Amino acid sequence: MSILVAICMVLGAFFGFVAALGVNRMPDFYMRMHAATKAGAFGAGLMLLAAALHFGSVRATVTAVGIIVLFYLTTPVAAQTISEVAYRKGVKLWPKSGRNQLAEDEEPSGDR
Amino acid sequence: MIAFAISSVLLLAGLGLALRRVIVGPTPFDRVVALDLIGGLCLCLIVMFSIFFDQGVLLDSAFAISLVSFLGTVAFARYLGRGETK
């Protein structure tokens, strides 16, 4: 096993762990969602990169790159959908969050 | 071999932490996000097994998991968002 595969694998697992840690430690639903989607997608991408480097065949590389592209296309969509629904349903922001730009944008029209 | 041990411990600790958030999550949205993260961590675990056992076919199951995880999260969002807002 090459050293590059080992480094990518350990880094991918580390970022997955960081995502889970953020999901536990962040004070607010939106920050938890941010930690889970960003670090989780990065960890999965590194792990799949390790698989592509390990196998080296065309089939495994195409599969791994396909999963990476799919993951990076779908994860932001899922995160945006769930956070917009949470906001519309009235999930509160952390009180120390600096500003709420979505509320500021919607305030003048007032038709929501 | 030590890399597999470190990765396994990190991924299992991450799964435990995400499961804690699924159990104690104050809102259903926290639970959905934590379940999405559990799907991603399971994908990492399967890819690690695929490298460990040198079986390239296990990557196809990772593909299926990434598809189902996305559809599950969006379906949960639509389900939780029904009815009146605010």
**What pLDDT, on a 0 to 100 scale, did the predictor assign at position A97?**
76
Mean pLDDT of the residues in chain B:
89
pLDDT band at B45 (very low <50, low <70, confident <90, very high): very high
Question: Mean per-residue pLDDT for B21-41?
Answer: 90
Q: Which of residues 43-82 of B touch A (CB under 8 A)?
A: 43-44, 47-48, 50-51, 56, 59-60, 62-63, 66-67, 70, 73-74, 76-78, 80-81
> For position A89, what pLDDT does the model report?
83
In a domain, B86, yes or no: no
Residue B29 domain boundaries: 2-80
Nearest CB to B85; choose among A29, A82, A89: A89
A13: nearest CB among B6, B60, B78 = B6
- Contacts of residue A20, defined as CB under 8 A and 6 or more positions apart, other chains included, come to A36, B13, B14, B15, B16, B17, B18, B21, B37, B41
pLDDT tens-digit readout, A66-90: 999 999 999 999 999 988 888 888 7
| Residue at B85 is within a domain | no
Which chain A residues touch B74 with a CB distance below 8 Å?
77-78, 81
Which range is least confidently modeled, A91-95, B36-40, B68-72? Answer: A91-95
The residues spanned by each domain of chain A are 3-93
Closest CA to A64 of A77, A47, A81, A78: A47
Class of domain A3-93: mainly alpha
Residue B34 lies in a domain: yes
Res A43: pLDDT: 92
Model pTM score: 0.88
ipTM over 0.90: no
Q: Which residue's entry shows tokens 């990476």?
A: A68
Q: Tens digits of per-residue pLDDT, A10-53?
A: 999 999 999 999 999 888 888 889 888 889 899 999 999 999 99
Task: Say if B29 falls within a structural domain.
Answer: yes
Query: Is the pLDDT at A91 greater than 70, yes or no?
Result: yes
Provide the domain count of chain B: 1
Q: DSSP secondary structure string, A30-76?
A: HHHHHHHHHHHHHHHHHHHHHHHHHH-SHHHHHHHHHHHHHHHHHHH
Residue A111: pLDDT over 60: no
